[in-house]
A and B are shown apart, each in its own frame.
Chain A
Amino acid sequence: MVSKQLTITNAQGFHMRPASVFATAMGKYSCDVTIKFNGSDYNAKSLLNIIAACIKCGSEVEVVCNGADENEALAEAAQLIESGLGE
């Protein structure tokens, strides 16, 4: 299992479009991907779960990957979040 603390920098936070970009990217991996935020776990392959987390700009989240391709998944997750999720 690998994990990383990341800060969300999108002005609108983790909303429809960024959540969709992120969930689609994570869907490619076989490992489980979880976003830990505000004491709860959210399935990062699910756009709806990410939106339900209500993650605003400036929030700190922890991305946890667990499975065969966990390192690749975490690297892409970090890259996506740091680059502003395509916004």
Chain B
Amino acid sequence: MLNGTAASDGVGIGKVLIIKELSLDYTPKEISDTDAESERFKKAVDLFCKNTMEQAENLRKSTGDKEAEILEGHIQIIKDPYLCGEIEKLIDEGQCAEAALEHMCDMFIAMFSAADDELTKQRAADVRDIKSGILSILLGVQEVKISEAPKETVIVAKELTPSMTAGINKENIVGIITETGGKTSHSAILARALEIPAVLSVDGVVSKLYDGQEVIVDGTEGVVIDSPDKNQIEEYTQKRNEYLVEKRELENYRGRKTVSASGEEYELFCNIGKPDDAVKAVECDGEGVGLFRTEFLFMDRSQIPTEDEQFEAYKKAALILKGKSLIIRTLDIGGDKDLPYLGLAKEENPFMGFRAIRYCLKNRDLFKTQLRAILRASAYGDVKIMFPLITTLDELRTGKELVEEVKSELRENNVGFNEDIQVGVMMETSSAAVIADLLAKEADFFSIGTNDLTGYTMACDRGNSDVSYLYSALQPSVLRLIKYIIECGVKNGISVGMCGEAAANSMMIPLLISFGLTEFSVSAPSVLKVRKTISTWTKSEADKVAQKVMSMSSEKEIEDYLKTVI
């Protein structure tokens, strides 16, 4: 058994096809007719561009625009005037086209590989792909035709290049194994787009497997089983079928409303961290965004982002969502999220300290800049504002006053925004939960953040293995708070959502239905699964379960019971 990175879900069982690296060896020679050599190089580049263009078209049909753009990028790279100019110069000096190309490409490969960011490192793979593509044209070497692979083939390669991927026929290729690449590499993205199970970063796999060998690829667990025995094949065939059945079943929930078995309708949103994630939310059939964490805008940089930068990011997400709900959480720094340029002092107890709304209310310029950017974006969609870490009613009031201040400034300057923008509270401290009745009268909505609510209520750090056993949203104390928050919201006619991990937990869902939650916000890949789970419960069945659970006195008892009903 070989281990690697689980990069694309599912199980594939088939026969190995090793994609050997082509032998692109050549003997460098002195060139006397440099014009002819230069012409030979240009012709190879033209042919490369033509082939790549065709591959991009194929890829566009099989996986979509985004993947095709990777290949189109190759054309832009080889047409780079600096790269071409330097290669021409080397040819003029008497080097052969192969050597000139290799020299320049290797220089950029080395430069990109040494970079400290993942995106630049990935460009090295692009340049390598271009180099071997043009070298094989210059040397007249045939590339392996993946498009002609027989049914039930598992591709094994050092690296899955975009040009290889373009030749993949989804009907015939059942799995992909490579020696390099992480979860976010091109190989992984392409494998997921093609919906082919893939395990990447398997050490030395090209030399460990052989052509025609039977192999199992478990892309969900990141495991490769070479020459499996009968039992393993049986086990994994079953696993594969279960995966496919579940996937097909979940697809039935795409495009449908989120409704319980007794007809109550719910909102099913996604949590996102970047404007681009909104695309994923829409692709996964999310009905909006219940939590847009804005910290990304502030991280990995040396100064606070400007109002315009923030505005563009919020506007982008709002436009992608086309009028669907977008709840933007104001800056939640401090605690475990530090921003060096803010110069926050080291604290003894950062989670009890100067963070989130507390920091923002003390640094009003920064806070008002963000509020202004959010308000301006509210002209482009259904944008809502949410304050994190509220513990007192005063904090909510002050926050709302600042929103009003910013509104009147915008009005004076004739800048458009939504006058009726909703301002809500992220319910994630025990204090907020206990005064939910007071907050519900002045907030436009609640969203329960179960991760912090559980941590604060249980006074427990889930990262500490000595106490993490206490960390569970199914603890009676946490459940009582959740129930009380939802009841207070319902009583005051405001919507109550949940954006913590618990919202996607199938044990939690009947309880939330019974308590009266109106909105679930989950990670994009969980949307269809949560919609399905909600559809299996009637309100009265959920009520029965909740009643029983709320009469229980320990987390273990609750969990054991819930496992029997889901």
Contact = CB atoms under 8 A, between A and B. Distances in A.
A47 interface: yes
Contacts of B73: 16, 20
A49 interface: yes
Contacts of A78: none
Contacts of A48: 77, 80, 82-83, 108, 127
Nearest 9 pairs between A and B by C-beta? A46-B82, A58-B301, A52-B111, A47-B80, A9-B309, A20-B76, A48-B80, A54-B115, A43-B82
Interface string A20-52: 100110010000000000000001011111011
Contact of A49 (B82, B306, B312, B313): B82
B112 interface: yes
A1 interface: no
Given A48-B108, A52-B108, A52-B111, A58 B80 contact: no
Nearest to B119: A15
Nearest to A26: B81
B297 A11 contact: yes
Interface string A53-66: 01011110000000
Interface residues of B, number: 33
Nearest to B301: A58
Contacts of B83: 46, 48
A52 B114 CA distance: 10
Contacts of B81: 23, 27, 45-46
Given A11-B275, A48-B82, A54 B302 contact: no
10 contacts: A9-B305, A9-B306, A11-B275, A17-B69, A23-B81, A47-B76, A52-B111, A52-B120, A59-B302, A84-B312
A13 B301 CA distance: 10
A79 interface: no
B274 interface: yes
Given A15-B119, A23-B80, 14 more contacts: A9-B305, A9-B306, A9-B308, A11-B297, A12-B119, A16-B73, A23-B81, A46-B82, A47-B77, A54-B115, A54-B117, A56-B300, A58-B303, A58-B305
Contacts of A47: 76-77, 80
B108 A45 contact: no
Nearest to A15: B119
B412 interface: no
A31 to B, nearest CB: 14
Contact of B120 (A43, A45, A49, A54): A54
Contact of A52 (B112, B116, B302, B305): B112
Interface in B41-96: 69, 73, 76-77, 80-83
Contacts of B296: 11
A27 B123 CA distance: 21
Interface of B: 69, 73, 76-77, 80-83, 108, 111-112, 115-117, 119-120, 123, 127, 274-276, 296-297, 300-303, 305-306, 308-309, 312-313
Which of A16, A27, A43, A49: most chain B Cβ within 10 A?
A16
Contacts of B77: 47-48
Nearest to A49: B82
A35 to B, nearest CB: 13
B110 to A, nearest CB: 10
Contacts of A11: 274-276, 296-297, 313
A41 to B, nearest CB: 12
A78 B275 CA distance: 24
Contacts of B312: 9, 84
Contact of A54 (B116, B276, B305, B309): B116
Contacts of B275: 11
A27 B81 CA distance: 8
Nearest to A47: B80
A24 B76 CA distance: 9
Interface centre among A16, A17, A48 (most CB of B within 10 A): A48
- Of the candidates B69, B82, B119, B296, the one having the most CB atoms from chain A within 10 angstroms of its own CB is B82
B296 to A, nearest CB: 8
Nearest to A43: B82
A32 to B, nearest CB: 12
A6 B81 CA distance: 24
A45 B119 contact: no
A48 B87 CA distance: 14
Nearest to B126: A16
A27 B82 CA distance: 10
Nearest to A46: B82
Nearest to B105: A48
Contacts of A51: 112, 120, 123
Contacts of A58: 300-303, 305
A59 B305 CA distance: 11
Residue among A11, A24, A45, A59 with most chain B CB within 10 A: A11
Nearest to A58: B301
Contacts of A9: 305-306, 308-309, 312
A41 B111 CA distance: 15
A57 B119 contact: no
A22 to B, nearest CB: 12
A31 B93 CA distance: 26
A54 B302 CA distance: 15
Nearest to B81: A45
A18 to B, nearest CB: 11
A57 B108 contact: no
A20 B240 CA distance: 42
Nearest to A20: B76
Contacts of B82: 43, 45-46, 48-49
Contacts of A59: 302
Given A51-B123, A84-B312, A46 B80 contact: yes
Contacts of A24: 76
A56 B301 contact: yes
Contact of A16 (B115, B123, B300, B308): B123
